[in-house]
Amino acid sequence: MTPNETFLMLRAGLSRLDHEVTTFLQRQGTEPEAGSQAASERTNYSRSDSLYTVAAIGTMLLESVGEHVTVLARAMTEPITPFACLTCVRSMLESASIAAWLFDPKVDAQKRVGRAFAHRYEGLEEQVKFGRAANIPPDELKKAEDRVDKVDQDAVALGLPIIRDRNGKRIGIAERMPSATDIIKLVLDEECAYRLLSAVAHGHTWAMQQLGFTQAAVQPSQPSDGARTVAMEKSAGSSQMHAFSVVRAAKALAVPVWNQCLYFGWDKDRLAIVLESVYDQMSIQPALRFWRRKEDK
């Protein structure tokens, strides 16, 4: 196929993946199957509400991933916006890694709830910082600070540790929330991709120049003082860049859904058929089909 045909195939495959995964999830409903790991944890854990919170957070993050797939497909439609494509995938990797981390079927209920507390603590601390930056009234800021303390108390009641620094200051609940880079490396094995995408998001010229610009056909006359100038023009991006983006976007959508499917006891064979078919359409190599690995079954 020509580069343009390959690009159109990848874009169509990503949209199809989004549609078929959404259809699969709608057919499964919102509740875990009887006898599944999720159902068993909700029955046996001392505070089942905490496990419903895990599911709520994970589901919200998956909604974000799905919306970004839609936006990515639009950004890959003429006129193509390469930087928007890349930063869109970056956001997907962040949300997807946390959702997959929470739905991880290889951890027990206490570990799972601890991860949710770690994530909630980080979010509430950011809410307090936002309140201070926005100069919200002191009484409203106090309410936000009190919510952090309440989460702290709930965690202690469940036997989860409070993480403190050497000076005794609270810096986490249950565990320190991994950085975005660390959790993406741990869950998705996409550290290199995330660092590249972050370089674009942070405005680093080495990444932006290589991924969104090309040398102009017409170059300016060189100045007499010996300084060399090169004219650059905006580019829609290379076929390799678009393939890179689509493959990571597909993984960001598929991995957390796969983990939730295993954890909730849903029809994993049906989901595997969907993934195989769409990955075949996009000609994604077998080594990237994570659901085939024994540890992911």
Q: Is residue 175 assigned to a domain?
A: yes
Total domains, the chain: 1
Q: Is residue 265 part of a domain?
A: yes
Whole domain around residue 177: which residue ranges? 3-212+228-296
Q: Indicate whether 161 belongs to any domain.
A: yes
Q: Which H/E stretch holds residue 171?
A: strand 170-173
- Among candidate residues 57, 7, 13, the one with its CA nearest the CA of residue 250: 13
* The pLDDT value given to residue 230: 83
At 21-54, the pLDDT tens digits run 999 999 999 999 999 999 999 999 999 999 999 9
In this structure, is residue 222 part of a structural domain?
no
Examine residue 217 and state whether it is found in any structural domain, yes or no: no
pLDDT at 278 over 90: yes
Residue-wise pLDDT for 200-237, tens only, equals 999 999 999 888 888 888 888 877 777 777 888 888 87
* pLDDT of residue 154 exceeding 80: yes
Q: How far apart are CA 219 and CA 226, in angstroms?
A: 15
The answer to the question of residue 218 being in a domain is: no
pTM across the whole model: 0.92
Quick check: is 132 in a domain?
A: yes
- The pLDDT tens digits for 96-119 are 999 999 999 999 999 999 999 999
Structural element, H or E, at residue 234 = strand 232-234
C-alpha–C-alpha distance, residues 118 and 162, integer Å:
10
Q: Provide the mean pLDDT of the chain.
A: 93
Separation of alpha carbons 141 and 97, rounded Å: 30
Q: Considering the domain boundaries, does residue 223 fall inside one?
A: no
pLDDT at 297 over 70: no
